[in-house]
Amino acid sequence: MKKEKILMTGNEAIAEGAIQAGCRFYAGYPITPQNEIPSFMSTHMPDSGGVFIQAESELAAINMVYGAAATGVRAMTSSSSPGISLKQEGISYLAGAELPAVIVNIMRAGPGLGNIWPSQADYFQATRGGGHGDYHCIVIAPASVQEAYDFMYLGFDLADKYRNPVMILGDGTLGQMMEPLEIKQPKIKNYAKPWAVTGCKNRPRNIVKSFHLKEGDLETLNLSLQKKYKLIQEKEERYEGLYLDDAKIILVAYGTMARIAKSAMHKLRAKGKKVGLIRPISLWPFPKKIFQEIVSHKQSAKFLVAEMSYGQMVEDVQLAVNGKAKIDFLGRSGGGVPSEEDIIRLIK
Amino acid sequence: MKKIYSRPQSLRDVVNHYCPGCGHGIAHRLVAEVVDELGIREKVIGVTPIGCAVVAYDYWDFDCSEASHGRAMAVATAIKRVRPQNIVFTYQGDGDLAAIGTNETIHAANRGENITGIFINNAIYGMTGGQMAPTTLAGQKTATCPRGRDIKLQGYPLKISEILAGLPAVKYVERVAFDSPQGVIKTKRAIKQAFQNQIEGIGFSLVEMLSPCPTYWGMSPEDSLKWVRDVMSKEFPLGRIK
């Protein structure tokens, strides 16, 4: 039987995917280019028996997500770069209280108000914690409308599995473009949440908090978080690799930039150039192992990292490669997007 | 022998961390007594603030969630929306509810969230060392207005309860003071009313309590109660506002 596909924007696919993944709480505040997500949620979330709230600010929205997540409900918010900056305190609290939640960031260009053009300049604020304290969000980067939908299942599953905030990191292009989408409805794994605040009927009271004043308590918690992050780093690295067996030059790009890099790779291969691609899907944990494997087996491979930002992910590639291979960088920012030709020119 | 008075079931047997003469202990106990009397201990969820009462959850034997500074009303909104069968309240000081959290307070109230707000007004930031609060009185000396609050520079004490009372979705606002046994009785009655309203689905209710802070007012506990009665309650009139 031929699988039926529907046409959707990336933003709508994210919202549809979230509801299909069992998300029953959404709070957000308007900001371009992600406005289709709250619009979709405002009708479809109540229709699915969930709660939609247009919050008075990004601060209120992320703290509403915190409240809903504290009760054990699958909860999410979405925003774009300046709005994510505002949510970072709340995300730090989610990480500290070990609450599962999904935060969607459809990036626009900065710094400051910047503009509404697509960008990848939030890589640092997504993968380095972003807010205060020693913590990580799991960061997943879709590169198509189908992945935008599929990764909402993955995001909510990882959030529950590790009791950790998950950020879905896309850009304005991915959010706004339309592509055919197959609605898959995979099985959702339900995780027990004995820690949730639901009223202390027939059990001792539950307290959701990130405050640990007594000497040593916070260090103990932080060490247990580090243990969790190490496990996530071991188990959850994700990437797409193309022509890594014969490639002499390996392009490295994620999200929208990876689509452009992939087109450039095909054109170059048609001309006989041995070019491959690594597309990181998990940005944290960054897929280090594949880079380490390549540089330990193929002395001659070179990397070209392409970003819609001025050198952010390239730092993770440098850390993974650890000086064992040459790394070139191509980046544009402020709404500028490196083209196929820009990549081809550098490889010729 | 008949037992006529004991620790409420909802109040845990812990060492008091508040300063001598502080009002939080009274407010914590009154909340616990009301929760017991209404029989809601197993379905109540408290949302605790940042400030002196940051560890309020240590005192109560029911479910609680911490909220970041000022965001208790947003956290409580979400908890109540996804679990309308629970009884949800916030416990916040003046800095939390009426300075950094003013936006969340006004919008939760304006949406008519069916939640209960317990608002402790002691006209000062206690935990951080006695700085000027939105509710600090004109002329009152604090760590950040050592010459006294100058209304020309720092504005007037913010009467958030009166602001909230002007919103159509707000159903009940009362200001009380536990400066005397009668005041404690009135305070408990108001807390009970605010919880009862939620149980009956009436809507947003808030109780503001004028509360002593002897440490940062630089007064004895006894003089602090007198100051609540003679000075503070002149600026913040007691009684039902809505």
Do residues A96 and A222 both lie within one domain?
yes
Q: Give A348's pLDDT tier (boundaries 50, 70, 90).
A: confident
Query: Which of A 22-51 lie inside 8 A of B, CB atoms?
Result: 24-25, 27, 51
Decide: pTM greater than 0.90.
yes
Predicted pLDDT of residue B23: 97
Set of chain B residues whose Cβ sits within 8 Å of the Cβ of A205: 60-64
Residue numbers in A near B103 (CB within 8 A): 56-57, 59-60
The domain ranges of chain B are 24-132+158-240
Q: A-B interface: how many C-beta pairs under 8 angstroms?
A: 123
From B58's Cα to the closest Cα of chain A, the distance in A is 9
pLDDT-derived band at A92, boundaries 50, 70, 90: very high
Judged by CB atoms closer than 8 Å, whether chains meet at B103 and A56 is answered as yes
pLDDT band at A1 (very low <50, low <70, confident <90, very high): low
Task: Say whether pLDDT at B192 is over 70.
Answer: yes
Is residue A1 one of the residues assigned to a domain? no
Contact A67 B44 (CB under 8 A): no
Which residue, among B52, B66, B106, B127, would best test binding to A if mutated, counting the most A CBs under 10 Å from its CB? Answer: B66
pLDDT of residue B96: 98
Interface test with B, best of A54, A62, A65, A71 (most B CBs within 10 A): A71
pLDDT confidence of residue B1: 85
Q: What pLDDT sits at residue A298?
A: 74
Chain B environment of A64 (Cβ under 8 Å): 74-75, 77-78
Report CA-CA distances (Å) from A4 to A153, A180, A327.
Answer: 19, 9, 42
What is the nearest CA distance from A91 to chain B, expressed in angstroms? 11
| Chain B residues lying within 8 Å of A210, measured CB to CB | 66
Question: Is the pLDDT reported for residue A311 higher than 90?
Answer: yes
Query: What pLDDT is recorded for position A186?
Result: 86
Q: Is the CB of B55 less than 8 angstroms away from the CB of A213? A: yes
- Across the range A45-69, mean pLDDT stands at 98
Q: Are A333 and A308 in contact (CB under 8 A)?
A: yes
| A163 and A116 both lie in a single domain | yes
pLDDT at position A185, please? 83
A93 touches chain B (CB under 8 A): yes
B193: phi then psi, degrees, rounded to nearest 5: -60, -45
* Domain shared by A120 and A60, yes or no: yes
Please report the pLDDT score of residue A339 as a whole number.
Answer: 98
- Tens-digit pLDDT profile for residues A14-39: 999 999 999 999 999 999 999 999 99
How many Cβ atoms are within 10 Å of B199's Cβ, its own excluded? 14
Reported in sequence order, the residue ranges of B5-58 that DSSP labels E, i.e. its strands, are 44-48
The answer to whether B151 touches B145, Cβ cutoff 8 Å, is no
Whether residues B79 and A25 touch (CB distance < 8 A) is answered with no
- The count of structural domains within chain A is 2
Domain at A274, CATH number:
3.40.50.920
A164-178, A271-285, A296-310, A318-332: which has the minimum mean pLDDT? A296-310
Q: Which two tokens stand for residue A32?
A: 């371009």
- Asked if the C-beta of B68 comes within 8 angstroms of chain A's C-beta atoms, the answer is yes
Selected for mutation to probe chain A from B81, B96, B102 (highest A CB count within 10 Å) is B81
3-state secondary structure of A13: helix
Q: Which residues of B touch A94 (CB under 8 A)?
A: none
Q: Decide if pLDDT at B204 tops 90.
A: yes
Whether residue A257 is contained in a domain is answered as yes
Q: Which residues from chain B sit within 8 angstroms of residue A57, using beta carbons? A: 103
* Domain match, A63 and A180 both: yes
- Given a cut of 90, is residue A100 above it in pLDDT? yes
pLDDT tens readout for residues A121-148: 999 999 998 999 999 999 999 999 999 9
pLDDT above 90 (res A299): no
Q: Check pLDDT > 70 for residue A173.
A: yes
Say whether B78 and A68 touch across the interface (CB within 8 A): yes
The answer to whether residues A175 and A251 belong to one domain is: no
- B35–A contact, CB cutoff 8 A: no
A282 lies in the same domain as A217? no
Domain match, A212 and A268 both? no
pLDDT of residue A2: 66
Asked whether residue A99 falls in the same domain as residue A28, the answer is: yes
Domain stop point among A235, A254, A271: A235
**ipTM for the whole predicted complex goes beyond 0.85:** yes
Which chain A residues are closer than 8 Å to B65 by Cβ? 66-67, 70, 197, 207-209
Residue A105 belongs to domain with CATH number: 3.40.50.970
Concatenated DSSP letters of A226-263: HHHHHHHHHH---EEEESTTT-SEEEE--HHHHHHHHH
A310 to chain B, closest Cα gap in Å: 33
Kindly indicate the confidence band of residue A344, based on its pLDDT and cuts at 50, 70 and 90.
very high
**What's the Cα-to-Cα distance from B126 to each of A334, B68, B95, rounded to whole Å?**
45, 17, 9
Q: Do B55 and A211 count as a contact with CB atoms less than 8 A apart?
A: yes
B1 min Cα distance to partner chain A (Å): 31
Nearest to B66 among A25, A53, A210 (CB): A210
Average pLDDT over residues B217-231: 98
Both tokens assigned to A235: 């188990």
Claim to verify: residue A245 and residue A225 sit in the same structural domain: no
pLDDT tens readout for residues B123-157: 999 999 999 999 999 999 999 999 999 999 999 99
| Superfamily (CATH H level) for B24-132+158-240 | Thiamin diphosphate (ThDP)-binding fold, Pyr/PP domains (3.40.50.970)
Q: How far is CA A150 from CA A78, A110, B177, in A?
A: 16, 28, 56
| Best to test chain A binding among B68, B88, B96 (most A CBs inside 10 Å) | B68
Cα separations in angstroms, B113 against A57, B57, B172, B183, B205: 17, 22, 12, 28, 9
pLDDT tens, residue by residue, A254-291? 999 999 999 999 999 999 999 999 999 999 999 999 99
Query: Distance between CA B221 and CA B29 in Å, rounded?
Result: 18
At which of A201, A218, A235 does a domain end? A235
Percentage of chain B with pLDDT > 90?
98
pLDDT in tens, B26-57: 999 999 999 999 999 999 999 999 999 999 99
Domain co-membership, A231 together with A244: no
Instruction: Tell if the CB–CB gap between A197 and B65 is shorter than 8 Å.
Output: yes
Q: Domain range holding A204?
A: 6-235
> Per-residue pLDDT tens for A228-263?
999 999 999 999 999 999 999 999 999 999 999 999
Task: Tell whether B210 is within 8 A of chain A (Cβ).
Answer: no
- The answer to whether B66 and B48 have CB atoms below 8 angstroms apart is yes
Residue of B nearest to A60 (CA): B74
Mean pLDDT of chain B: 97
Which one of B63, B64, B82 has the shortest CB-CB distance to A51? B82
* Whether residue A153 has pLDDT greater than 70: yes
| Residue B67 in contact with partner chain A when CB distance is under 8 A | yes
Task: Return mean pLDDT, chain A.
Answer: 97
A68 found inside a domain: yes
Q: Is residue A74 located within the same domain as residue A203? A: yes
Would you say residue A330 has pLDDT above 90?
A: yes
Domain match, A126 and A180 both: yes
A214: closest chain B residue by CA: B55
In terms of DSSP bridges, do strands A138-140 and A282-284 run parallel, antiparallel, or are they unpaired?
Answer: antiparallel
How many CB atoms neighbour CB A129 within 10 A?
A: 18
Q: Report the gap between the CA of B24 and the closest CA in chain A (Å).
A: 19
Residues of B in contact with A201 (CB under 8 A): 42-43
Interface test with chain A among B12, B38, B45, by most A beta carbons within 10 Å? B45
Q: Chain B contacts of A202, Cβ < 8 Å?
A: 42
| Pairwise CB contact (< 8 Å): B67 & A67 | yes
Q: Is A212 exposed, middle or buried (0-12, 13-18, 19+ CB in 10 A)?
A: middle
